[in-house]
């Protein structure tokens, strides 16, 4: 059908809400429930069926006609969900106006497979894993699901009773198995295979791996306790307990590596503690199996939890992720046990990943002075940016922790001066960059003055050294350095971090203005410093901060223009007084600020969109 303009017309749709027979409502709710799960929509209203059909001339003609149509639709839907091919033509012969309603039911059934794929235990019982469980306990094969323990992005875990052996176990199954992608199913099956091969006193053992009515699952030992993450949130752990737990987990991880398995998602919530606080490693959903036939993670895919990722893992280079990545994660767990927080944790995943890639963690002893120096060295060795600088194996880490617990000599050695200096610059890049910039600025300034002195001597002119100017510039640099140290101190405080950033940016702009007013103002090549301030503001990944620095730079440049034309007109003899130059510089600063702000905005938007999709 085309409209007057020759284009295909768009049919109008109406939503019809009619009370329906119970049997039809029930099957409709099952279909709509699966569609709602597919679309991540809320629960479907009970008691009514909502279908969409193209508006047609005829309407239902009274209660008897309505009931007949409901019976036809009821039977049609029942045959669809039974996997049969209903006789569409016979229905349309009697009621041709139901064509669009049948189309809708067929489309819904095509999107949502038959409930048989989700039947648990019996023909009539279905279990919707996409929603919270209000119908527990429920039968599931030889298991009786008692309560939900937890769920993640891929699976859900239930406390269950194995009826054949009359024991309590934990049953994990994939969420919405019929709607799961092949990748999710593969990862779930890989987890089951990886965990089933392991036999270690600190790894949760697997009892059974199977599939029931299309639902993948595996049963494992039930650990009656809490996760290490819950234990940390409840109260801090003493040093001896922290060392004991991480050493035991490291032994378990070493066993993983011996089996050619890399966990890739070690974190406190994946460590279970029993009543006696013995640790058990679990959740191998992201495990990488280094064996022939196993599928590697694609390059560029970031897997894991940002705060506990190794840099090579955070960069998306899956081929570079080896056993040392798990050693880094063990160091991150130890760091959190010692300080109460992970090494890096920012407002969103992107900021955290950037910190993991480019920053050094705050020294544990600075956050908790009670941490022994030797234990800090062990932790920092695990958290080294380069894999080769970490422990050679998880077993070596466990050995060093055992040596520490017994008061014996450690394998780890204190870093030399160069390593400490490099680590300091990575822990405090803002302060270090200012020190370097101010140092280079003053060296360049001295070099220019030395060249002027040498040229004057070659020309037979008496060299003139303006000592007052030198002392004034030294004072500005000293104030700038001191202010930077103070701002860095407040920047490290979560309470003052936000205002410290803006105060620091304002001081940078004002002190650069002071240095230029002491020098040649807009005639000085140092005006390039405003562009550097704007670019540097972008490294904070805040659009408002970039805008703030851009406005300050424009205001400062305006002051320099006033100084150039009215306060020190003698500068016009050595510099082009044409205002076109200043207009171009101002437009350049505005354009630079807009470009940097736009790039930061794009990065922030991508972070918000993809942050929750880090697997």
Q: What is the DSSP string of 331-373?
A: HHHHHHHHHSS-S---SSHHHHHHHHHH-PPPPHHHH-TTS-H
Asked if the model's pLDDT at residue 327 lies above 90, the reply is yes
The tokens for 66 are 């309505």
Q: What is the pLDDT of residue 346?
A: 81
Query: Looking at domain 231-417, does it have CATH number 1.10.510.10?
Result: yes
Give the integer Cα–Cα distance in Å for 505 and 491. 12
Compute the average pLDDT of residues 84-110. Answer: 75
Q: What is the pLDDT of residue 108?
A: 64
Asked if the model's pLDDT at residue 447 lies above 60, the reply is yes
Asked if the model's pLDDT at residue 202 lies above 50, the reply is yes
Share of the chain above pLDDT 90, in %: 35
Q: What is the pLDDT of residue 58?
A: 40
C-beta separation of 255 from 203 below 8 A? yes
HEC string for 298-318: CCCCCCCCHHHCCHHHHCCCH
Asked if the model's pLDDT at residue 118 lies above 60, the reply is no
Contacts of 358 (CB under 8 A, 6+ apart): 426, 429
Q: What is the pLDDT of residue 503?
A: 94
Residue extents of the structural domains in the chain: 13-112, 138-221, 231-417, 428-613
Give the integer Cα–Cα distance in Å for 265 and 320. 15
Compute the average pLDDT of residues 301-306. Answer: 71
Compute the average pLDDT of residues 249-262. Answer: 92
Give the integer Cα–Cα distance in Å for 200 and 270. 16
- Kindly report which listed range (113-127, 131-145, 347-361) carries the lowest average pLDDT score: 113-127
Q: For 263-284, what is each residue's pLDDT tens digit?
A: 888 999 999 999 899 999 988 7
Q: For 15-31, what is each residue's pLDDT tens digit?
A: 333 344 444 444 444 44
Give the integer Cα–Cα distance in Å for 530 and 510. 11
CA gyration radius, the chain: 34
Q: What is the pLDDT of residue 464?
A: 63
Among 60-64, 223-227, 539-543, name the most confident range: 223-227
Asked if the model's pLDDT at residue 597 lies above 60, the reply is yes
pLDDT confidence tier of residue 345, bands split at 50, 70 and 90: confident
Q: For 222-237, what is each residue's pLDDT tens digit?
A: 999 899 999 999 888 9
Q: What is the pLDDT of residue 504?
A: 94
Q: What is the pLDDT of residue 218?
A: 87
Compute the average pLDDT of residues 199-204. Answer: 91
Q: What is the pLDDT of residue 531?
A: 92
Residue 262's nearest CA partner among 319, 200, 344 is 319
Q: For 377-422, what is each residue's pLDDT tens digit?
A: 999 999 999 999 999 999 999 999 999 999 998 888 888 888 888 8
Q: What class has domain 138-221?
A: alpha beta
pLDDT confidence tier of residue 331, bands split at 50, 70 and 90: very high
C-beta separation of 217 from 129 below 8 A? no
Residue 348's nearest CA partner among 603, 40, 615 is 603
Q: What is the pLDDT of residue 601?
A: 87
Give the integer Cα–Cα distance in Å for 355 and 540. 11
- What's the mean per-residue pLDDT of the chain? 78
Q: For 464-521, what is each residue's pLDDT tens digit?
A: 666 788 888 889 999 999 999 999 989 888 788 889 999 999 999 999 999 999 888 8
C-beta separation of 163 from 140 below 8 A? no
Q: Which helix (H) or strand (E) holds 375?
A: helix 373-382
Q: What is the pLDDT of residue 29?
A: 45
Other CB atoms within a 10 A radius of the CB of residue 200 amount to 18
Asked if the model's pLDDT at residue 63 lies above 50, the reply is no
Other CB atoms within a 10 A radius of the CB of residue 109 amount to 17
- Kindly report which listed range (181-185, 350-354, 366-370, 439-443) carries the lowest average pLDDT score: 181-185
Asked if the model's pLDDT at residue 579 lies above 70, the reply is yes
Q: Is 155 helix (H, G, I), strand (E, B) or coil?
A: strand
Q: What is the pLDDT of residue 271?
A: 94
């Amino acid at each position: 059908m085309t409209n007057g303009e020759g284009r295909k017309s768009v049919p109008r749709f109406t939503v019809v809400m009619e009370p329906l027979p119970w049997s039809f409502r029930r099957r409709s709710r099952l279909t709509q429930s699966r569609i709602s799960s597919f679309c991540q929509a809320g629960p479907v209203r009970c008691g009514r069926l909502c279908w969409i059909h193209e508006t047609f001339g005829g309407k239902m003609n009274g209660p008897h006609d309505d009931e007949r149509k409901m019976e036809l639709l009821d039977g049609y839907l029942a045959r669809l969900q039974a996997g049969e091919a209903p006789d569409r033509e016979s229905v349309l012969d009697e009621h041709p106006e139901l064509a669009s309603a049948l189309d809708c039911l067929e489309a819904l059934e095509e999107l949502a497979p038959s409930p048989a794929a989700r039947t648990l235990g019996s023909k009539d019982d279905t279990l919707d894993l996409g929603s919270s469980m209000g119908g527990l306990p429920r039968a599931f094969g030889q298991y009786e699901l008692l309560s939900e323990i937890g769920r993640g992005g891929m699976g859900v875990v239930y406390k269950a009773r194995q009826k054949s052996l009359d024991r309590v176990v934990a049953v994990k199954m994939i969420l919405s198995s019929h709607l799961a992608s092949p990748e999710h199913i593969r990862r779930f099956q890989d987890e089951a295979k990886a965990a089933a091969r392991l036999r270690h006193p600190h790894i949760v053992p697997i009892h059974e791996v199977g599939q029931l009515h299309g639902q993948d699952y595996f049963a494992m030992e039930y650990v009656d306790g809490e996760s290490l993450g819950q234990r940390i949130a409840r109260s801090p752990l003493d040093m001896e307990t922290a060392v004991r737990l991480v050493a035991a987990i490291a032994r378990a991880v070493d066993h993983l590596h011996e089996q050619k398995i890399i966990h890739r998602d070690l974190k406190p919530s994946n460590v279970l503690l029993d009543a006696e606080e013995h640790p058990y490693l679990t959740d191998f959903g992201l495990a990488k199996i280094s064996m022939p036939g196993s599928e590697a993670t694609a390059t560029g895919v970031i897997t894991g939890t940002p705060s506990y990722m190794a840099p090579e893992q955070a960069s998306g280079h899956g081929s570079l992720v080896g056993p040392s990545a798990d050693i880094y994660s063990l160091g991150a767990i130890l760091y959190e046990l010692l300080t109460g927080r992970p090494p890096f944790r920012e407002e969103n995943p992107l900021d955290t990943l950037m910190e993991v890639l480019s920053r050094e963690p705050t020294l544990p002893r600075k956050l908790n002075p009670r941490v022994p120096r030797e234990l800090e060295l062990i932790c920092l060795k695990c958290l080294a940016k380069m894999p080769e600088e970490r422990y050679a194996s998880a077993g070596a880490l466990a050995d060093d922790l055992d040596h520490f617990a017994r008061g014996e000599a450690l394998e780890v050695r204190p870093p030399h001066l160069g390593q400490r200096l490099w680590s300091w610059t990575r822990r405090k890049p803002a302060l270090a960059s200012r020190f370097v910039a101010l140092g280079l600025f003053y060296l360049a300034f001295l070099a220019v003055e030395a060249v002027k002195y040498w040229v004057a001597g070659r020309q037979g002119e008496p060299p003139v050294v303006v000592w007052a100017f030198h002392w004034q510039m030294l004072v500005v640099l000293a104030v700038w350095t001191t202010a930077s140290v103070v701002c860095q101190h407040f920047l490290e405080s979560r309470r003052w971090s936000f205002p410290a950033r803006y105060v620091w940016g304002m001081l940078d702009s004002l002190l650069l203005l002071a240095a230029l007013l002491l020098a040649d103002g807009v005639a000085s090549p140092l005006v390039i410093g405003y562009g550097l301030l704007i670019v540097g503001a972008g490294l904070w990944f805040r659009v408002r901060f970039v805008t703030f620095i851009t406005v300050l730079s424009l205001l400062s440049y305006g002051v320099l223009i006033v100084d150039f034309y009215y306060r020190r007109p003698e500068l016009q003899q050595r510099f082009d007084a044409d205002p076109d130059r200043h207009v171009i510089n101002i437009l350049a600063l505005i354009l630079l600020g807009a470009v940097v702000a736009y790039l930061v905005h794009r990065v922030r938007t991508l972070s918000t969109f993809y942050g929750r999709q880090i697997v």
